[in-house]
């Protein structure tokens, strides 16, 4: 009844075969969940059997009870409450996939389309394209790749909110800095999930978020708590003098080699300084670095 299958019937767990320890993401012991459903199936049988007393023989009552509790209740229950039931998924919400990487985007869309309760309504390669199509897509959730080329995921989230998008945003990433993760969570994303998880785990995270839960990777919770802990001093420290010099020269449009010549250091030292700046500012590209520097560190430049 509650296993995955098609729109009419579940495919697994017949006679309690190969059942998991807990049911889906509820955390409830599977046998406890089964007993709960068994009680409801028994109730369906006994409610009507009271009206049949004296009108059918014992064999008829027994056959009726078996039919209701063993077939009618679980099958119709799957239609309405199973993860793939056709009534449960009727009018199911759509999902939007903005990602700079076509292979990742298309592979994820194909995997999601195999899920009866998930529907992909759009795949876009850039933030601008996604924002332009968001209103007419009818999507209730955006699966956002944190890597949008020269664009930043946080900018997409902010722009989508300004456009009035009130759905969920789930960020999928191969890894992001603590600072960027905190910014995304504070901007209102409903979850951050690593690409290292299986497609099944990702689909379960989508379902949990669609039901109002949050789904954050545990490694980002500690920096989030630090960010909202007002008893701590601010964790944002001033840029070092060399970092400020490098940023100023980047803003002038100089290359790494030209910056190295200006500062009389090796090009490798400049690359090392840039990696340090990327990590501190939570960015991945030079264009993102310029944008964040102007928005958040202008007073230090």
Q: Which range is most confident: 86-90, 100-104, 158-162, 180-184?
A: 158-162
- Per-residue pLDDT averaged across 291-296, rounded? 76
Look at the chain and count its residues: 301
Query: pLDDT tens across 23-80, in order?
Result: 654 556 878 878 888 888 878 777 777 777 777 777 877 787 888 887 888 888 777 7
- Count how many Cα atoms sit within 13 Å of the Cα of residue 256 in the half-sphere of its side chain: 11
DSSP structure string for 49-111: HHHHTTTS-HHHHHHHHHHIIIIIHHHHHHHHHSTT-TTTSTTPPEEEEE-S-HHHHHHHHHH
How far, in Å, CA of 176 to CA of 224, rounded? 13
Residue 94 — very low, low, confident or very high, per pLDDT cuts 50/70/90?
Answer: low
Which class for 152: exposed (0-12), middle (13-18), buried (19 or more C-beta within 10 A)? buried
Task: Return the number of other C-beta atoms located less than 10 Å from residue 115's C-beta.
Answer: 20
Query: pLDDT tens across 224-273, in order?
Result: 656 555 444 444 557 888 888 888 888 877 888 888 998 999 988 888 88
What percent of the chain lies above the pLDDT cut of 70? 79
What percent of the chain lies above the pLDDT cut of 90? 0
Domains of the chain: 14-81 (no CATH), 94-228 (3.40.50.2300), 241-300 (1.10.10.10)
| Angle (CA) 265 270 275, round 5° | 155
Predicted confidence (pLDDT) at residue 204 exceeds the cutoff of 60: yes
Predicted confidence (pLDDT) at residue 84 exceeds the cutoff of 70: no
pLDDT for the residue 242: 85
Task: Return the number of other C-beta atoms located less than 10 Å from residue 288's C-beta.
Answer: 21
How far, in Å, CA of 263 to CA of 17, rounded? 69
Q: Which range is most confident: 83-92, 221-230, 254-263, 291-300?
A: 254-263
| Alpha-helical segments (H) within the chain | 30-52, 58-67, 73-81, 102-113, 127-137, 153-162, 178-187, 199-210, 221-228, 241-251, 256-263, 267-281, 286-296
pLDDT for the residue 100: 54
Predicted confidence (pLDDT) at residue 275 exceeds the cutoff of 80: yes
pLDDT for the residue 91: 44
- Per-residue pLDDT averaged across 8-32, rounded? 73
- Reduced to 3 states (helix: H, G, I; strand: E, B; else coil), residue 192 is strand
pLDDT for the residue 97: 58
pLDDT for the residue 38: 82
């Amino acid at each position: 009844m509650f296993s995955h299958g098609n729109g009419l019937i579940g495919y697994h767990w017949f006679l309690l075969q190969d059942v998991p320890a807990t049911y889906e993401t509820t955390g409830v012991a599977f046998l406890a969940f089964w007993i709960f459903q068994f009680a409801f199936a028994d109730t369906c049988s006994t409610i009507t059997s009271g009206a049949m007393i004296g009108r059918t023989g014992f064999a008829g009552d027994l056959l009726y009870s078996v039919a209701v509790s063993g077939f009618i209740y679980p099958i119709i229950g799957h239609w309405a409450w199973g993860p793939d039931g056709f009534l449960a998924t009727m009018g199911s919400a759509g999902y939007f996939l903005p990602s700079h990487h076509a292979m990742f985007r298309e592979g994820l869309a194909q995997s999601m389309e195999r899920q009866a309760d998930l529907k992909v309504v759009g795949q876009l390669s850039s933030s601008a394209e996604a924002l332009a199509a968001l209103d007419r897509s009818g999507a209730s959730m955006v699966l956002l790749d944190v890597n949008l080329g020269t664009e930043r995921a946080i900018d997409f989230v902010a722009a989508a909110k300004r456009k009035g998008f009130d759905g969920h945003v789930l960020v999928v990433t191969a890894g992001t800095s603590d600072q960027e993760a905190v910014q995304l969570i504070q901007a209102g994303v409903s979850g951050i999930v690593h690409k290292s998880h299986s497609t099944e785990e990702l689909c379960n995270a989508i379902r949990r978020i669609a039901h109002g839960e949050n789904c954050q990777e545990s490694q980002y919770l500690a920096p989030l708590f630090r960010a909202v802990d007002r008893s701590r001093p601010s964790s944002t420290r001033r840029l070092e003098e060399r970092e400020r010099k490098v940023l100023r020269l980047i803003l002038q449009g100089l290359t790494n080699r030209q910056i190295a010549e200006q500062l009389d250091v090796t090009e490798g030292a400049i690359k090392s300084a840039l990696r340090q700046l990327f990590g501190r500012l939570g960015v991945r590209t030079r264009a993102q670095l310029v944008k964040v520097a102007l928005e958040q560190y202008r007073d230090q430049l």
